[in-house]
Amino acid sequence: MTPHINAPEGAFADVVLMPGDPLRAKFIAEKFLDNVQEVTNVRNMLGYTGTYKGRRISVMGHGMGIPSCSIYSKELITEYGVKKIIRVGSCGAVRQDVKLRDVVIGIGACTDSKVNRIRFRDHDFAAIADFDMVQAAVQAAKNKGVKVRAGNLFSTDLFYSPDIAMFDVMEKYGILGVEMEAAGIYAVAAEYGAKALCICTVSDHIRTGEQTSSEERQLTFNEMIEIALESVLIGDVTE
């Protein structure tokens, strides 16, 4: 056990899906997994392990922001032997060609956070997803007939950013989605020898003001979840 996870040794599968919201973790476990058991609940950050088409998989919330997700992903990797983390979350869009409920696969993640500079001796660290996991997710989406966008995310520390002009810069540089965790998870995975991927569903559009409700974010976005789960099966075959 750790200060933040009260699961016993061996409670987690080698692959963990991680939404920000612990209630979304509960929803994923109950809707998509069989033989589900709750394995951790410290601070109500719920975690579950079950099977998907016979494959053992875990799902656990990681909270909001890089500090929170970094704690849980680090402990899962170093204390529970997790090899792969797939963040399944929501993001905002700044580009007009990215629409509400589009699925975005984060090949890389820019950030305004300093955490990666702290761990990388004040140099820029290119926070990128594992290539094989990206490839498996793209293939899973194609198999389902779901169009996905693959490219760069922006992981911000401030949900309510005062720097509105930065959205223009993000659009110019082709940022597909703005969220708060991918750059941290990618760096934690790199530091501790694991693999990671971030798949997001566009929950709101920063330019148009369109948005989904908190209930919709918790209970829908099923295409993203199915892509993540199927990508695990594809990865097992191709590795």
Phi, psi (deg, nearest 5) at residue 55 = -95, 125
Q: Which residues are catalytic?
A: 204
Range of weakest confidence among 87-101, 176-190, 214-228 = 214-228
The string of pLDDT tens digits covering residues 104-120 is: 999 999 999 999 999 99
So what's the pLDDT on residue 173? 97
Looking from the CA of 239 toward its CB, the CA atoms found within 13 Å total 13
Q: How confident is the model at residue 239 (pLDDT cuts 50, 70, 90)?
A: confident
Q: How far is CA 141 from the centre of its chain?
A: 16
Percentage of the chain modeled with pLDDT above 90: 94
Q: Residue 191 has which token pair? A: 């530091």
SS percent in the chain: helix, strand, coil, step 5: 35, 30, 35
So what's the pLDDT on residue 1? 84
Inter-CA distances, 122 with 115, 125, 193, 225, Å:
9, 9, 21, 35
CA distance 174 to 167: 11
Q: How confident is the model at residue 47 (pLDDT cuts 50, 70, 90)?
A: very high
- At position 190, the amino acid (one-letter code) is A
Other CB atoms within a 10 A radius of the CB of residue 55 amount to 14
- At position 208, the amino acid (one-letter code) is T
Instruction: Report, as an integer, the average pLDDT of 41-63.
Output: 98
Instruction: Report, as an integer, the average pLDDT of 110-133.
Output: 97
**To the nearest whole number, what is the mean pLDDT of the chain?**
96
pTM attached to this predicted model: 0.96
Residue 236: pLDDT above 80? yes
CA distance 200 to 195: 17
Phi, psi (deg, nearest 5) at residue 105 = -105, 125
Instruction: Report, as an integer, the average pLDDT of 138-148.
Output: 97
The string of pLDDT tens digits covering residues 168-192 is: 999 999 999 999 999 999 999 999 9
Q: How far is CA 210 from the centre of its chain?
A: 22
Pairing assessment for the beta strands 47-52 and 15-18 based on DSSP bridges: unpaired
